[in-house]
Amino acid sequence: MLIVSGACAHFRVAPDSLSAATLEERRRVQAIAWGALEPLVAPANCNGNGMASVMVTMTVTDTVVAVITLGFVRPVTIEWTCAKTQGMGDL
Amino acid sequence: VKVSRREAVKACVATAALQAADLAWPFRSVAAAERDGFRWINKHQNVEATVWRHYDVWNHGAEGAGVGPASWRGGFTALRDILQEAQARGRGVRAVGRRWSLSPVAVCPDIMINTMPLNYHVVGLPASDLSTSRVDPSRLVFAQCGTSVLELSLTLESKGLSLPTSGASNGQTICGAIATGTHGSARRVGAMQDYILGFHLLGDDGRHYWVERASKPVVSEAFCQRLGATLRRDDRLFRAAVVSFGSFGIIHAVLFEAVPLYLLEVHRRRLDWPTVRDAAATLDLDHLRLPYRGVEPFHFEVAVNPYSAKPGQRGAVVTAMYKQPYREFARRRAGDVTMVPGVDLLAVSGRLATVLPAAIPAGVNSMLNAMMHMHALPVLGTHREIFDTTELVGKSLSAELGVDLADAGAAIDTFSAIAADVRRTCDVHERSVGQVSAARMNDDSYQHTITERGTVLLANRCRLREREVGQARHDGVGGPVTDAHVAVEQRERHVALEEQGQVGIGLAASRRHRAQL
């Protein structure tokens, strides 16, 4: 436990042909009441572009909270980077 | 303040030129998203800083204003406006790429600029843009500073071209890699900055220049006029600014010549280190059972397990890549989901190694095994396909030293000897400036301390000095280590630790050295 206490479960979506345009943005979010209310993250920093990567992180603490509340509260951390604009052109 | 008539005229002309340029350029600064009090952190999460103001600079506005031909002007104008604002406020500025540096070199407490969105790039210039016939205009690439190596490679591949080399990764931005002196990955090609022909440099007061070597002029006045830049041909200026760690204005764009697209054929062998030792120092590879006997590989590397460096322990993995003309071939398609090293793998491994240091040799051995099983050899691919994007995330650290080729064997022997010693005496301190620092002290434990810059094991340098092995740090600082050099490095480190209130974190030995200093 001592060794893995800092470990989290991470789930990443990252197309291998895309480069990130921005630094990683992170939000803590919770689904409430067994999903009756769920978070919607709408990145405001992508300058009209899509996202280059998304990572969902679930810590040991998040799991404990979900177990203690019998799933009423399901917290996770969502992290994303924005995609670049198509950069090819003429001078 | 006395101003001469000549200076006054120059100032008026410069102001008029700037105003004229403003009128000529259709895009105002619509493209810089700013945030104050920004908490900045580098890619490998070992450097953090609070920045007065942080900008994401785009070539276009959020509603798409400015997208289209020559949209680089929007980003350039935004950069220029930021510089002028900083100058007016007396603030420093640093432009940053992918944040891969393990040292605080990229940090500026005033204004930091994320240049990654500036990815405009052009392949092929008209002949009228050139002043020489020594380069092929169809292979010239004008790339904005934030264009990633991956983007460049994808574009170039679509046109049957390739980068001459990269830093063995697709992840960096072109200017970030060049400005920090990133190495190459091909023999006889040089480092990334070696193939740069010229660059667009933005200085103070909004003035900007096209800088190239006087000994190798490339572009014409017409090209500079299209940029609105002043042409400067000067070898010394070029060399000083091209690898300047973001301290010589902002390099807005670079120009280089791509090469015809090629394939790399990768071969890998697991061998004893003593068998490889001479080859590593001479690059005479004939006895390594590699294919293409007598042919010099494009890329050659040796990974050594310092805990298995004796005969019979197969402690070395040799990788040789041979350059082939491009041809179509059947590529294996990866699935949508693959298992990759986890974000916390390094941190958990570090903790495991702390609790169970005896497991370190087996861990390193498993990494070498993974290298052998990663591919069904030989592997064929373009430069981009062979060198991946290095998207390893999570906290990490690396230390690198450059030595003369002839000393490579002796250097690795030295590191192997130190590795066994360090395994017994070192620990990982996550909150330490040193990142990895001696935990159990002995008389010379300070010399086992990795500096906070993550670039050098002082112990390695001292031991190498004993063996008269010349060396250079990854950032180019180098030469033989002298007693004075060691003393200065120790003193600098101590001052840095003291300034950050870190003295005393597992560094009892440094206090002893402080007394000596």
Task: Report the 3 state secondary structure along B39-53.
Answer: EEECCCCCCEEEEEE
pLDDT band at B491 (very low <50, low <70, confident <90, very high): low
Q: What angle do CA B67, B71, B72 make, to 5 degrees?
A: 145
Mutate to test the interface with B, among A19, A24, A26, A60 (most CBs of B within 10 A): A19
Predicted pLDDT of residue B112: 96
CA distances from residue B267 to B78, B278, B313 in whole angstroms, order as listed: 47, 19, 20
Q: What are the beta bridge partners of residue B302?
A: B318
pLDDT band at B490 (very low <50, low <70, confident <90, very high): low
* DSSP tag of B441: -
**More confident call, B294 vs A62:** A62
Interchain CB distance below 8 Å, A20 and B343: no
Choose the weakest-confidence range: B149-158, B404-413, B445-454: B445-454
Is residue B177 within 8 Å of residue B97, measured between CB atoms? yes
Given its phi and psi angles, is residue B292 left (phi above 0), alpha (psi -120 to 50 degrees) or beta? left
Is residue A50 within 8 Å of residue A80, measured between CB atoms? no
Residue B85 has pLDDT above 50, yes or no: yes
Nearest to B347 among A2, A6, A91 (CB): A6
* DSSP tag of B295: P
d(CA B89, CA B78): 17
The alpha carbons of chain A give a radius of gyration, in whole angstroms, of 17
* Average of per-residue pLDDT across B77-94: 93
Residue B365 has pLDDT above 90, yes or no: no
Predicted pLDDT of residue B472: 53
Residue A33 has pLDDT above 90, yes or no: yes
Residue B484 has pLDDT above 60, yes or no: no
Residue B230 has pLDDT above 70, yes or no: yes
Q: What is the pLDDT of residues B272-304, one digit of tens each?
A: 999 999 888 888 888 898 889 889 899 999 999
Interchain CB distance below 8 Å, A45 and B56: yes
Mutate to test the interface with A, among B76, B119, B210 (most CBs of A within 10 A): B119
B-chain CB neighbours of A20 within 8 Å are: 116
pLDDT band at B231 (very low <50, low <70, confident <90, very high): very high
Is residue B137 within 8 Å of residue B146, measured between CB atoms? no
List the structure tokens of B355: 């609790």
Is residue B114 within 8 Å of residue B54, measured between CB atoms? yes
Q: What angle do CA B296, B301, B305 make, to 5 degrees?
A: 145
Is residue B317 within 8 Å of residue B269, measured between CB atoms? yes
CA–CA min distance B61, chain A (Å): 7
Interchain CB distance below 8 Å, B348 and A3: yes
Predicted pLDDT of residue B368: 87
List the structure tokens of B316: 């070395």
CA–CA min distance A90, chain B (Å): 6
Residue B81 has pLDDT above 50, yes or no: yes
* DSSP tag of B324: E
Q: Which chain A residue is nearest to residue B60, measuring alpha carbons?
A: A47
A-chain CB neighbours of B391 within 8 Å are: 14
Residue B177 has pLDDT above 50, yes or no: yes
CA–CA min distance B198, chain A (Å): 15
Q: Is the ipTM, as predicted for this complex, more than 0.85? A: yes
Instruction: Please state the φ and ψ torsions of residue B370, each to the nearest 5 degrees.
Output: -65, -35
d(CA A30, CA A37): 9
Burial of B262 (0-12, 13-18, 19+ CB in 10 A): middle
* Average of per-residue pLDDT across A67-83: 97
Sign of CA dihedral B403, B417, B397, B272: positive
Nearest to B226 among A14, A20, A91 (CB): A91
Residue B433 has pLDDT above 50, yes or no: no
d(CA B503, CA B205): 42
Q: Is A22 on the interface with B (CB under 8 A)?
A: yes
For residues B105-134, one letter each, b for 16 or more C-beta atoms within 10 angstroms of the residue's C-beta and e for the rest, the string is bbbbeebbbbbbbbbbbbbbbeeebbbeee
CA–CA min distance A23, chain B (Å): 8
Interchain CB distance below 8 Å, B69 and A4: no
Interchain CB distance below 8 Å, A23 and B99: yes
Choose the weakest-confidence range: B138-142, B297-301, B474-478: B474-478
Interchain CB distance below 8 Å, B59 and A21: no
Is residue B115 within 8 Å of residue B145, measured between CB atoms? yes
d(CA B306, CA B413): 8
Mutate to test the interface with A, among B63, B112, B351 (most CBs of A within 10 A): B351
B-chain CB neighbours of A57 within 8 Å are: 343
Choose the weakest-confidence range: B37-46, B63-72, B265-274, B479-488: B479-488
pLDDT band at B426 (very low <50, low <70, confident <90, very high): very low
* Average of per-residue pLDDT across B474-488: 49
Helices B458-466, B483-499: crossing angle, 10 deg rounding: 170
CA distances from residue B236 to B177, B214, B221, B495 in whole angstroms, order as listed: 20, 9, 20, 33
Q: Is A14 on the interface with B (CB under 8 A)?
A: yes
Residue B270 has pLDDT above 70, yes or no: yes
CA–CA min distance A14, chain B (Å): 10
Q: Is A19 on the interface with B (CB under 8 A)?
A: yes
* Average of per-residue pLDDT across A6-22: 87
**More confident call, B502 vs B302:** B302
What pTM was computed for the model? 0.80
Q: Which chain A residue is nearest to residue B341, measuring alpha carbons?
A: A10
Residue B5 has pLDDT above 50, yes or no: yes
List the structure tokens of B303: 């990974």
Predicted pLDDT of residue B465: 63
Is residue B179 within 8 Å of residue B172, measured between CB atoms? no
3-state secondary structure B226-256: HHCCEEEECHHHHHHHHCCCCCCCEEEEEEE
Choose the weakest-confidence range: B57-61, B288-292, B478-482: B478-482
First to last CA, chain A: 57
* Average of per-residue pLDDT across B51-73: 83
* Average of per-residue pLDDT across B127-144: 95
